[in-house]
Amino acid sequence: MKKGIIKFGWFENLVSVLFAALLALSLVACGGGGGGGGGSDSGSNSNLSDTGKSDTTANIPPPATNDNNNNPVAVSTLTGVAATGAPMSGGNVYLKEANGTEHGPYPIDANGNYSIDVTGLTPPFYLKAERTVGGVTTTLYSVSMGSGIGNINPLTNLAVAAASGVNNPADAYNDPGSHSITQPNLDKAITDIETMLAPILAAYNASNINPFTDGNYKADGSGLDGVVDDMNLDIDITNGIVTIRLKSDPTPLGQAHLNNLGSPDDPITGAEVTAALASKTALGTGYNFPPLVRADLTLNVNEASLGTSSLTYSFNGMVLVSTSITTATISAGTAAIEGTGSLEDGSTCQFTAIVTNGGVGSGGAMGIVIFDSTGTIHSTASQAINGGLYTVGDGSVSGTGNNFPPLNKADLTVNVDSLLLSAGHLTYSFNGMNFISTSITEVTVTAGTATIKGDGLLEDGLTCQFTATVTNGEAGSGAMGIVITAATGIIHNAATQTITVGKFTVTP
């Protein structure tokens, strides 16, 4: 046994020495536990859990991105609602840094919301929202002093112009270096706008709400959005005059200059706002007989040469030009001419015209039926001409003449409320023409007479604009009239005259 102890004693000593050395090296590598690592220990001890284990990650948020030195940088986001009143859905938001660097586009969702990661960007941020519908582009501007909420609407558009000292808010966005916006200038612009619009904001329960940073702002027609939904804040970029009016009524409620919004030249009064927001309605149906309208027919037809024959006809804005004469039947001084043609809007049609030999008071007469695959477009029975001369011979007919077809009944039905224009509608029919409104854009009422403007469609799908006039009352006192126009000009014009049957109710 003693030999074993003597034989292995040196080995046990060696192991002890090596173990002590390794332990010392380990303590040095770990910071020595107490001295040099005190700061680290302090941080660890403050996050001890109930189990006694150190939680060294509890206060370290996960980095979303890194800077150029690979150091963690917290993400900054700018969000908001872009709306004209209605959401600018399908459009885009663009952002410019204070140094002029532009970013975008950032999409606008169905509710008008957008979001931009502004991490590392230089504020203030100049914002532009754009949306194109039917070839018409709407642009609004805003500004944000940093991350957070940055709404874009007609009120921010106005404030950007006022705060940057320009007539056109686009100038501030296009060149932020020359038209910088500071927080004091923006605060003043907001205060001045609140002062100018005070009666309107009160009517919509939208006082003391910041249009830029209100986190409850929604494009739902309520509160502040109700203001921009119902009001036009028009900026004359030539002279800097701001005009406030209802979208449904062109009468200004007030005016001010951009550099003096807090002291408007034409202040808005509570009485004006109350009267403007009162519901203006036109409701009812009626018909009358517009005055006689002259019809003109010119032709040059030869049975033996139909390919070179021609006919034109016009009545109340409608113009027919023949493209081919297919049949000419002449008997006892009267010619029946059939063919195809095109109307003023380019649509194709067929016609049958009747022309009788003679002049005014000597037997001359004319009439026509115009139709297409959907039915009769226009029909006037043959009657004596009031001007011109027709020569109907053996195998040919030529000449020009005019007359006044019998009175035709015109019907108009309307149901419009100035506060619910989107729900309003109007229909009108006259002599085979049928017009249906697709939108009501404006209603004004003066002394019991409503003037209604909007867009609509004719029976052939042609898009038109209209201005209708309706006067309160029944047959004998109520009245109606309408002008329908298209890109080519006036299609139909019936002056306002009393109704024969029906009733219109116009308020207030």
377-406: b or e for each residue (b if 16 or more CB lie within 10 Å)? bbebebbbbeebebebeeebbbbbbbbebe
Q: pLDDT (tens digit, 9 = 90+) per residue, 431-446?
A: 778 999 999 888 888 8
Average pLDDT over residues 394-422: 83
Residue 67: its pLDDT value, please? 55
Region of 303 please: left (phi>0), alpha (psi -120 to 50) or beta: alpha
Confidence of residue 212 (pLDDT cuts 50, 70, 90): very high
pTM above 0.75, yes or no: no
Which has the closest alpha carbon to 372: 345, 405, 410? 345
Q: Which of 155-164, 230-239, 380-389 has the highest mean pLDDT?
A: 155-164
Residue 221: its pLDDT value, please? 82
CB atoms under 10 Å from CB of 179, counted, come to 19
Residue bearing the bigger pLDDT, 54 or 109: 109
Average pLDDT over residues 273-277: 81
CB atoms under 10 Å from CB of 409, counted, come to 13
Cis ω for the linkage preceding 124 (within 30 of 0): yes
220 burial level (CB within 10 Å; 0-12, 13-18, 19+): middle
3-state DSSP assignment of residue 391 = strand
Checking if the pLDDT of 70 tops 60, the result is yes
Checking if the pLDDT of 152 tops 90, the result is yes
Instruction: Cite the beta strand spans of 225-280 per DSSP E.
Output: 231-235, 241-246, 252-257
Checking if the pLDDT of 102 tops 90, the result is yes
Which has the closest alpha carbon to 365: 394, 332, 409? 332
Residue 3: its pLDDT value, please? 37
Q: pLDDT (tens digit, 9 = 90+) per residue, 218-263?
A: 988 888 988 988 888 999 989 999 999 887 777 888 999 998 899 8
Residue bearing the bigger pLDDT, 59 or 145: 145
Q: pLDDT (tens digit, 9 = 90+) per residue, 320-331?
A: 999 999 998 888
9 burial level (CB within 10 Å; 0-12, 13-18, 19+): exposed
Residue bearing the bigger pLDDT, 30 or 214: 214
Q: How far apart are CA 321 and CA 329, in angstroms?
A: 20
Output DSSP code: residue 307: G
3-state DSSP assignment of residue 343 = strand
* Total length of the chain: 508
DSSP string, 84-122: SSSB-TT-EEEEE-TT--EEEEEE--TTSEEEEE-TT--
Residue 69: its pLDDT value, please? 62
CA 110-114-118 angle, to 5 degrees, is 170
Q: pLDDT (tens digit, 9 = 90+) per residue, 33-63?
A: 333 333 333 333 333 233 333 333 333 343 4
Place of tokens 């192991």: 15
Compute CA distances 358 → 34, 152, 311, 366, whole Å.
127, 72, 18, 10
Share of the chain above pLDDT 90, in %: 46
Residue 14: its pLDDT value, please? 41
Checking if the pLDDT of 482 tops 90, the result is yes
Instruction: Tokens for 34, please give them.
Output: 């107490």
3-state DSSP assignment of residue 77 = strand
3-state DSSP assignment of residue 292 = coil
Residue bearing the bigger pLDDT, 71 or 142: 142
Residue 345: its pLDDT value, please? 87
Checking if the pLDDT of 303 tops 50, the result is yes
Output DSSP code: residue 472: S
Q: What phi and psi values does residue 477 have, to the nearest 5 degrees?
A: -125, -40
Residue 376: its pLDDT value, please? 85
How large is the C-alpha radius of gyration of the chain? Answer: 40
Which has the closest alpha carbon to 378: 352, 401, 396? 352
Average pLDDT over residues 401-416: 84
Residue bearing the bigger pLDDT, 46 or 406: 406
Q: How far apart are CA 5 and CA 463, in angstroms?
A: 115
Q: How far apart are CA 95 and CA 76, in angstroms?
A: 14
Q: How far apart are CA 299 and CA 279, in angstroms?
A: 54
Q: Are 189 and 162 in contact (CB under 8 A)?
A: yes
Q: How far apart are CA 296 and CA 317, in angstroms?
A: 11
Confidence of residue 65 (pLDDT cuts 50, 70, 90): low
Residue 118: its pLDDT value, please? 95
Question: Which of 38-47, 160-169, 367-376 comes out lowest in average pLDDT?
Answer: 38-47
DSSP string, 139-178: EEEEEESSSEE--BSHHHHHHHHHHHT-SSHHHHHH-TTT
